Structure formats: structure tokens, C-alpha cells
Structure 1
Amino acid sequence: MALQGEIFIRAISRTLCWSASFYPQPILNYRRRSTQGLAIDFPTTNTLGFLAYMIYTATFLYSPLIRSQYAARHPISPEPSVRFNDLAFAVHAVILSTLVLSQFWPAVWGFKVSRFQRISRPVAGIFWGCILTVLGLAVFVAARGTGASLRAGDWAWIDVIYALSYVKLVITIIKYIPQAWVNYKRKSTIGWSISAILLDFSGGVLSILQLVIDSALQDDWSGITGNPIKLLLGNVSIFFDLVFMLQHYVLYREKKSVVEGAGNDGGAGEGVLAPLLGGGSSRSIPRVELP
């Protein structure tokens, strides 16, 4: 019981850190009345990734067909490992990610948004590619008429749900890259919340530690070797969190620059965001360095 209690406490701590990490960015945008400095690619991909994860967890929890198909394919362990807290976290993530995405529409919030700020071509390709792939697979399964099949060798609706989990995997791998690129081009992290990164980093570290400690206590390392995707996702997030901390605290710590005409909120000017992974055209804009 004591061991189960410790595992539960670590799981709650990890989930709380990850859940709390969604709040600093929209709060920062609200206080600055601006989204300048934040790449629109991040909330766009984040919303898609967690929407896919929400559907995945909801079907594994509440769809009798999906649960039956899972049991048929995993007779030794017929019960899915998805829990209600996974669904609650996903719903919460979708709401907060959508909130941040909505802040890029001045008609909704009245925030200052760079006229160059739009989804970059590579990210747009991945975004629509993920959607079309899942829809194509759904059409394929429907056309074959094997969607409700319990045979492991048939293409079924559970395969469409698995495809959604791969969408979440792809999004997790690529979602931080545009923001890291924007910070690099601007030589500044103004507009990007470091508090969110610190909370995300704490959740990632706690997740990896829980995986290692649980495996050590049970003398069973299959939780790590048997689930490399989970380990990869955790390490990818931690890697980019470290990149952002390096940018914020070391590389651009003293480069608190504003662009002429950007206002007094310390945000970056529009032209700085123009070359966002190949989107838009750049132009020379005078900079004023603050002491």
C-alpha cells in the first residue's frame, strides 16, 4: 500500500506540473495584450495533438467496440491502460491550447498580432498531412467493411484510433521546433513564457523518474525497454525544454531588444517574425538595444 501511495503521489505531481504548464503563456499574452514573440505554429499543432489524444483516450475508456477489439488483440492483458485522469488531462489541454490559439485573432481578444504571423509551410504540411492520413484510413476501413471486426488481422476502427496516437507522437516531436527557430531569429525569448517551460520540464523529469523508480522497485525494466515510444516522447520534451532554458537564461539573457514602433511592451516587431520557417518575407528594421 505504501508503494502504491508513493507511485500515486508521483503521478499526481507529474500531472499537476504538466497541467499547470498550460497557464503561463495565455496569462503572459493577456498581460502584454500581444502574441508577438509566440509562434502560432505551437498552439496550432498543440491543439491538434491533444485533440487526437483526447479522442484516443475517450474511445479506449467508453467505446465498447474499441475495448473489445483491444481485448481481442491483447488476450493476455485485455484491459487498456488508459485511465480517466488521462482523458481529463487531454480535455484540459485541448481547452487551454485552443484558448492560446484564439488569442491570435484580434477580433476576439484585441491583442496585437504581427501581420506576418501565420503557420509556416512545413508545419502546415504536417498539420494537414496528419488529418488527411487519419481521414484516409477511416475511409479505407469503412470501404472494406471490417471496422467492427474482432480479428487481429483485419483493418478495424481501432487502427484508426491508433493512427490518432501516432498523430500525437508526431506533434510532440515537431511542435517546439518553430518556437525555438523564432527565438533564434529574434535573438530573444520575449513573448515566450519560460514559466511554462520550467513546469513542463519538471513534469517530464518526474515522468522519467517515476518510470525508472517503478521499474527498479519491481525489478522489472520492461516498463522502459518495452515502451520506447513513451521514453522517447519524454526525452524529446526535456531536450527542447533545455534548449529554451539555454536560450532564455544564457544566449539571449541580455538581449532584451525592442523594434522601433513595437510599443512599450517589450515585444518583437512584426518584421522579426516574417521569416518564420520560410513563411513571409523579411526586411531590415532598425533595432534599439536596451541596457
Structure 2
Amino acid sequence: MAASFFLLVSSIFGWVYTICWSLSFYPQPILNFRRRSTTGTTVDFPAINVVGFLAYFISNTAFLYSPQIRNQYAERHHGLTPTVQINDLAFAAHALLTCLITISQFVPGLWGFDRKGRTGPGARLSTGIKGIIVGSFLGVGIVAIIVAARHDPDPKTGWAVIDMIYAVSYVKLIITLVKYMPQVLTNYHNKSTHGWSIYQILLDFVGGILSIWQLGIDSYLQGDWSGVTGNPVKLALGNISVFFDIIFIIQHYCVYRGNRGTAFSEDEERPLLNGEANGEASGERSNGNS
């Protein structure tokens, strides 16, 4: 009875986190579209996300549907099956699609956004992000060569195809570790979160918490915590996302709270502060009386 209850809770948590994380990809492109601008946000984030979620989609597909990978996983984890769920695959596929849409907003002329958004800070891929993307492909390629050259008939102790899938999944892990930093630094340099949607962060935060809980429940139901260590990407994805979400929440609601509505680009209408508005009004009255 208890097992059925926890199984239901795991399923609910899984699909709720999938919905929250999936919805979190919409506020930013919608905000960009409404502002007709990508100023205040960086191309690094959606670009590296494309690579990360492509890797996540490939690894989840392998763990869910490849008999060879599932058998090798069982041999290494006491006969258990991977804790990857169908909602994990659905999330990865949706995330990849929405990230492609978001990065397309940085393509000159495609959406008709303002020119500053295509030439300002964050409009071009940073050298560091380029290096991570290239390094990710090289890393997977090296592991694939090693697996092909030293393939061992016993996947429990030697190199096996599952190691190549783990290498692909680690690409997502590495990218999750670094992908938020360019935007954190952009907010810091701008002293504002203007142009960066907080709603995506709030949804991401809820999704991260529920993702961790689902992984824990699934491992509890299996009676073996190797379900957590056997799915390090999902564990790290939830924890790292929550960590950076807290940073963004602090930036938005605490550190730069008074600056959220004052940041502007050269192509946007500059908002008037109360003091400026009052000063202009006083000046007009003064000119009228002179």
C-alpha cells in the first residue's frame, strides 16, 4: 500500500516538475518578443542550453529504450533499472525545442528586433562558452574512441557502450554547472535584472525541488540509493538549478530591486524617475511664470 502511494507521489512530482521546467522556457522569449529586443539577456544561455539538452535527450533516450544500455546499467547497479522516467525524456525534448526558438531571436533580421540587442553585451557567444561547447564534443569523441578500442566483454569492470552514454550525460552536467554564470555576471555589471525574466527562474526553482524529490522517492522504492548515484545528471541538474535560482531571486528581489525598472537600451523609451518627473514639472511651472 505504501509503495503504491509513493509510486503515485513520484509520478505526480515527475510530471509537475516537467510542467514547471517546461513552462520556465517561455517567459524569456515572450519577454524578448514583447520588448522587441534581447538586451539584458545573453545568447550564451540559450546557446549552451541547446547543446546541454541535446546531450540530455540522447542520454535519456538511451537509458529508457536501449536494451544494451539498460542491461549494462543493471550489471553495474545490482540488477536495478535506470531511474530515468518518461517525463525526463519529454522535458528534454521540449527544452531543446524551446531553446532553439529562443536562440533564433538573436539572429539578425529574423525577428526584427532592435539593433542594440544584436550588438550589445551578451549578443555574441563568449570565448569561454565556445570553448565549453567544443570541449564537450571533443570529450565525448575521446570516450567513444576509448570504448571502441578497449571494449571489454564485462561491462561491470571494463569500458562499455554505457560509458559513452555517461560521457554524453556528463556534458549536460558540465553545462549546467556553468550556463548560469554569464547571466549572473550580466546582471551584476548592469546592476539590474531588466530584460531577464524572473518568472522562468521561479518555475525553474519549483521544478528543481520536485525533480530532486522524485529521484529520492524512486531510489527509496528500489530500496537502493544507487538509483541516485546512477543518475548523477538528474541529481546535479536539480541541485545546481536550485542554487543559481536562489542567486537570481536574490538579485531580482533584494540586491537590484530598485533598479529593475530603470535599466534601458538606446532603442527603448527611457523611463522617468519620480524625481525627474517632478523636476520637469517644476521647470515647466518656472518657465511659465518667468
Q: What RMSD over aligned residues (CA atoms) do the two structures have, in Å?
A: 2.9
Q: Assess, with a 3 A threshold, how the Cα gap between structure 1 residues 174 and 34 changes in structure 2: closer, same or farther.
A: same
Structure number with greater Rg is: 2
Q: Which has the higher mean CA deviation after the structures are superposed, 180-189 or 244-253?
A: 244-253
1:96 corresponds in structure 2 to 98
Give the structure-2-normalised TM-score: 0.80
Q: Distance in 2 between matches of 1:159 and 1:115?
A: 41
Segments of 5+ residues of structure 1 without an aligned counterpart are 267-287
Q: Distance in 2 between matches of 1:233 and 1:133?
A: 20
Q: Distance in 2 between matches of 1:71 and 1:216?
A: 14
Match for 1:155 among 152, 159, 170? 159
2:53 aligned counterpart, secondary structure: helix
The Cα of 1:210 is off from its aligned counterpart by 4.8
The aligned runs of 1:75-114 (5 Å cut-off) are 76-112=78-114, 113-114=117-118
Q: 1:200 touches 1:241 (CA, 8 Å); kept in 2?
A: yes
Amino acid at match of 1:133: G
The aligned runs of 1:162-201 (5 Å cut-off) are 162-201=166-205
1:280 corresponds in structure 2 to none
Q: Assess, with a 3 A threshold, how the Cα gap between structure 1 residues 9 and 63 changes in structure 2: closer, same or farther.
A: closer
Segments of 5+ residues of structure 2 without an aligned counterpart are 275-290
1:4 corresponds in structure 2 to 7
Q: Assess, with a 3 A threshold, how the Cα gap between structure 1 residues 224 and 189 changes in structure 2: closer, same or farther.
A: farther
Q: 1:169 touches 1:233 (CA, 8 Å); kept in 2?
A: yes
In terms of fraction of residues, the more helix-rich structure is 2
The Cα of 1:232 is off from its aligned counterpart by 4.3
Q: Assess, with a 3 A threshold, how the Cα gap between structure 1 residues 20 and 259 changes in structure 2: closer, same or farther.
A: closer
Q: 2:57 touches 2:92 (CA, 8 Å); kept in 1?
A: yes
2:144 corresponds in structure 1 to 138
2:268 corresponds in structure 1 to 263
Q: Which has the higher mean CA deviation after the structures are superposed, 48-57 or 123-132?
A: 123-132
1:23 corresponds in structure 2 to 26
Q: 2:24 touches 2:200 (CA, 8 Å); kept in 1?
A: yes
1:243 corresponds in structure 2 to 247
Give the structure-1-normalised TM-score: 0.80
1:109 aligned counterpart, secondary structure: coil
